[in-house]
Amino acid sequence: MGAWLGSPVALIPLLILGAVVAVLLIASGLKDFGLTFWGFQYRFVPGEPDASSWGIGVFLVGTFLTASLSLVLATALSLALAISSVVYLPPLPGRLLSMVTNLLAGIPSVVYGIWGFVVLAPYFGLTLEPSLRDVLGWLPGFGGPASDIGPWGTLLAVFVLTIMIIPLTTALMREALRSVPRDLVEAGLAVGATRWEVVRRVRLPVARNGLWSAVLLGFGRALGESVAVAMVIGGTSIALPPNLYASTTTVASFIFSQLDSALIYPNLFVLLVEFSLVLLVVAVVVNLVAQRFTRVELATATTLGGGE
Amino acid sequence: MKVTTGLGDELTHTSGRMRRRILFDRVIGWVLLLAFAAVFFPLFDLIGWVASYALPTMSWATLTQNQVGTGGGLYAMIWGTLVLITLGTGIAGALGISAGFYTAEFAPPAVKRIARLAGNVLAGIPAIVLGYFGYYALVLYTHWGFTTLAGGIILGVFMLPYIFRTTDIALSNVPPSQREASLALGSSRLQYLRRVAFPIAFPTIFTGVFFAMALGLGEAAPLVYTAGWSSTPVQSLMQPTSFLTGGIWAFYDFPRSFGSFLALAFQAAFLLIVIVLAINIVVQVLSDRYRRRLAGLYE
Amino acid sequence: MNERNDNLVPRGSSAGSSPLVCPKCGAPVAAAGTEAPLKCGRCGTPLSAGSPRAATSPIAAASEDRGEIILAIDRLSVLARNKPLISDVSLHIPVGKVTAIIGPSGCGKTTLLRSMNRMVELHHLQVKGTVRYLGQDIYGAQVNPVLVRRRIGMVFQRPTVFPTSVFENVAFGLRLDGESEDTVEKAVVSSLRRTGLWDEVKEALDRPALTLSGGQQQRLCIARALAVSPRVLLMDEPTSSLDPVATQRVEDLIFELKSDYTVVIVTHNMQQAARVADLTAFMYQGRLVEFDTTKRVFEQPKEKLTENYITGRFG
Ligand SMILES: Nc1ncnc2c1ncn2[C@@H]1O[C@H](COP(=O)(O)OP(=O)(O)O)[C@@H](O)[C@H]1O
Ligand SMILES: [Mg+2]
CATH of the domain at A216: 1.10.3720.10
CA C107 / ligand 1 centre spacing (Å): 7
Interface contact B2-C10, CB threshold 8 A: no
Tell me how far apart the alpha carbons of residues B195 and B189 are, in angstroms, rounded to a whole number.
10
Beta-carbon neighbour count of residue A180 at 10 Å?
20
Burial of C219: CB neighbours in 10 Å, binned 0-12, 13-18, 19+: buried
pLDDT at C61: 64
Q: What is the mean pLDDT of residues B13-41?
A: 91
Residue A191 lies in a domain: yes
Q: Give chain A positions within 8 Å (CB) of B248.
A: 110-111, 113-114
Residue A86 lies in a domain: yes
Please count the CA atoms within 13 angstroms of the CA of B225 that sit on its side-chain side. Answer: 30
Q: What's the DSSP call for residue C15?
A: -
The ipTM value here is: 0.93
CA C110 / ligand 2 centre spacing (Å): 4
pLDDT at A263: 81
pLDDT at A304: 86
pLDDT at C48: 58
CA A254 / ligand 1 centre spacing (Å): 58
Asked whether residue B133 falls in the same domain as residue B183, the answer is yes
pLDDT at A9: 86
pLDDT at C63: 52
Is any atom of ligand 1 closer than 6 Å to the C-beta of C106?
A: yes
Residue A215 lies in a domain: yes
Tell me how far apart the alpha carbons of residues C173 and C194 are, in angstroms, rounded to a whole number.
17
Q: Residue B2: left if φ>0, alpha if ψ -120 to 50, beta else—which one?
A: beta
Measuring CA to CA, how many Å separate B28 from each of A1, A80, C271?
A: 56, 10, 47
pLDDT at A270: 84
Asked whether residue B65 falls in the same domain as residue B190, the answer is yes
The overall pTM is greater than 0.80? yes
Residue B36 lies in a domain: yes
Atom of ligand 1 nearest to the CA of C120: 1
Residue B1 lies in a domain: no
Burial of A15: CB neighbours in 10 Å, binned 0-12, 13-18, 19+: middle
Measuring CA to CA, how many Å separate A287 from each of B214, C65, C280?
A: 23, 67, 56
Residues with CB under 5 A from ligand 2 (ion): C 110
> Ligand 1 pocket: which of C77, C78, C85, C115 to mutate (most atoms <8 Å of CB)?
C85
Q: How confident is residue B293, by pLDDT bands cut at 50, 70 and 90? A: confident
- Residues in contact with B68: Cβ distance below 8 Å, sequence separation at least 6, in sequence order: none
- Reduced to 3 states (helix: H, G, I; strand: E, B; else coil), residue C142 is coil
Mutate to test the interface with C, among A191, A195, A201, A208 (most CBs of C within 10 A): A191
- Please report how the helices B259-295 and A91-106 are oriented relative to each other, as an axis angle in degrees rounded to 10: 140
Residue of C nearest to B17 (CA): C177
Instruction: Name which residue leads in pLDDT, B6 or B68.
Output: B68
Please list the ranges in chain A whose pLDDT falls under 70: 1-6, 49, 306-308
Q: Are A58 and A249 in contact (CB under 8 A)?
A: yes
Tell me how far apart the alpha carbons of residues B28 and A79 are, in angstroms, rounded to a whole number.
13
With a pLDDT cut of 70, the percent of chain C lying above it is 78
pLDDT at A5: 62
Residue B260 has pLDDT above 90, yes or no: no
With a pLDDT cut of 90, the percent of chain B lying above it is 62
Q: What is the mean pLDDT of residues C239-266?
A: 93
Is any atom of ligand 1 closer than 6 Å to the C-beta of C83?
A: no
Interface contact A304-B204, CB threshold 8 A: yes
Q: How confident is residue C9, by pLDDT bands cut at 50, 70 and 90? A: very low
Q: How confident is residue B134, by pLDDT bands cut at 50, 70 and 90? A: very high
Asked whether residue B190 falls in the same domain as residue B226, the answer is yes
Q: Please give the tally of structural domains in chain B.
A: 2
Residue range of the domain that includes A187: 34-301
Q: What is the 3-class SS of chain A, one letter each residue?
A: CCHHHHHHHHCHHHHHHHHHHHHHHHHHCCCCCCHHHHCCCEECCCCCHHHCEECCHHHHHHHHHHHHHHHHHHHHHHHHHHHHHHHHCCHHHHHHHHHHHHHHHHCCHHHHHHHHHHHHHHHHHHHHHHHHHHHHCCCCCCCCCCCCCCCCCHHHHHHHHHHHHHHHHHHHHHHHHHCCCHHHHHHHHHCCCCHHHHHHHHHHHHCHHHHHHHHHHHHHHHHHCCHHHHHHCECCCCCCCCCCCCCECCHHHHHHHCHHHHHHCHHHHHHHHHHHHHHHHHHHHHHHHHHHHCCCCCCCCCCCCCCC
B193 beta partners: none
Asked whether residue B131 falls in the same domain as residue B20, the answer is no
Of B24, B119, B224, Cβ closest to residue A13: B119
Q: How confident is residue B299, by pLDDT bands cut at 50, 70 and 90? A: very low
Residue A248 lies in a domain: yes
Instruction: Name which residue leads in pLDDT, B149 or B189.
Output: B149
pLDDT in tens, B147-172: 999 999 999 999 999 999 999 999 99
The values of phi and psi at residue A43, to 5°, are -130, 105
Residue A13 lies in a domain: no
Residue B208 has pLDDT above 90, yes or no: yes
Q: Please give the tally of structural domains in chain A.
A: 1
User: Which strands, in side-by-side order, build the sheet including C232-236?
Assistant: C152-155, C232-236, C262-266, C98-102, C279-284, C287-293
Q: Give chain B positions within 8 Å (CB) of C142.
A: 11-12
Least Cα distance to C4 among A99, B7, B111, B74 occurs for B7
Residue range of the domain that includes B133: 59-294
Asked whether residue B83 falls in the same domain as residue B140, the answer is yes
For residue C214, what is the enclosing H or E element? helix C214-227
Q: What is the mean pLDDT of residues C135-153?
A: 92
Instruction: Name which residue leads in pLDDT, B134 or C13.
Output: B134
Tell me how far apart the alpha carbons of residues A297 and A172 are, in angstroms, rounded to a whole number.
8
C192 beta partners: none
Residue of B nearest to A263 (CA): B225
pLDDT at C184: 95
With a pLDDT cut of 70, the percent of chain B lying above it is 96
Q: Which ligand is nearest to the CA of C109?
A: 1
pLDDT at C40: 60
Measuring CA to CA, how many Å separate C210 from each of A205, B9, C218, C246?
A: 15, 38, 11, 16
pLDDT at A237: 74
Asked whether residue B114 falls in the same domain as residue B243, the answer is yes
Residue B299 lies in a domain: no
Q: Exposed e or buried b for every residue in A110-138, given b needs 16+ CB within 10 A?
A: bbbbbbbbbbbbeebbeebbeebbeeeee
pLDDT in tens, C267-294: 988 899 999 999 999 999 999 999 999 9
Is any atom of ligand 1 closer than 6 Å to the C-beta of C46?
A: no
Q: Give chain A positions within 8 Å (CB) of B290.
A: 304
